[in-house]
Structure 1
């Protein structure tokens, strides 16, 4: 997936999530997606290459960085809780969408319960593959 495709997948996924707002508070070179005022996705370019920065569970972030050379610690963010996705071979659309969902869920989970636009216990959980109806 090239950089333009990577950012397009993130934009489409983020814009479809409940209570999401798109802003450019750091200038036109940064796109920021927020839920209830809290950042969960940033899009920019590093050394002229489009990248995406997402929140991640610290343990999951380590595993992702070990599995994918395109995933590195979060640029200009807490390196333990954020990851940067760069264009590259192994990243697939479904993985990127799942990472956006997880970033959103992690941020929503920290909101006061009455402000949460989704139930974080069930949000983003994919139905098991296989037969329907037993």
Structure 2
């Protein structure tokens, strides 16, 4: 997946919004004001930072050379994924789904319930 495909996939998530709180060179994707993906470049290489369950984060880092501890993020809960074409599209989409679902789970009960009434559960919690 290239940056345009990652951006499109993130924005297709229910209620996802794009923001630029860190400047124009870092696209931040949020649900209810909470970040689930950050798209930028590091040393000229496109990257995406994604939230991840700690156990899964370490497993993904072992499986894929393009998955590294979160750059400028909590390295226990975030991975940086190099968009170098080495990770299959379906796996990268699953990682985005997982990040989105983790952030969604952390929202207040009231916000979660509102979203759960509006959208099918599989579109919200596909990554869990």
Specify the TM-score bucket, using the shorter chain as the normaliser: 0.7 to 0.9
1:16 corresponds to: 12
The structure in which a higher percent of residues are helix is: 2
TM-score by length of 1: 0.83
User: 1:13 deviation in Å?
Assistant: 1.2
Give the secondary-structure state (helix, strand or coil) at the position aligned to 1:32.
strand
Could you report, residue by residue, the CA deviation over 1:20-60 in whole angstroms, capped at 9, with x for unpaired residues?
Answer: 11011111110000000000000110011110000000000
- Gapped regions of structure 2 (runs ≥ 5): none
Aligned partners of 1:18 and 1:90: how far apart in 2? 27
Q: Structure 1 unaligned runs (5+)?
A: 127-134
Match of 2:38 among 31, 42, 66: 42
Q: Which residue of 1 aligns with 2:105?
A: 109
**Helix, strand or coil: the match of 1:64?**
helix
Give the TM-score normalised by the residue count of structure 2. Answer: 0.87
User: Are the aligned partners of 2:49 and 2:71 in contact in 1 as well (CA < 8 Å)?
Assistant: yes
1:82 has 2:84 as partner: no
Write the distance in 1 (CA, Å) between the matches of 2:25 and 2:68: 20
User: Distance in 2 between the 1:89 and 1:38 partners?
Assistant: 27
**Which aligned segments of 4 or more residues in structure 1 are displaced greater than 6 angstroms?**
none
Aligned residues: 121
Aligned CA-pair RMSD: 1.9
Question: Does residue 54 of structure 2 align to residue 58 of structure 1?
Answer: yes
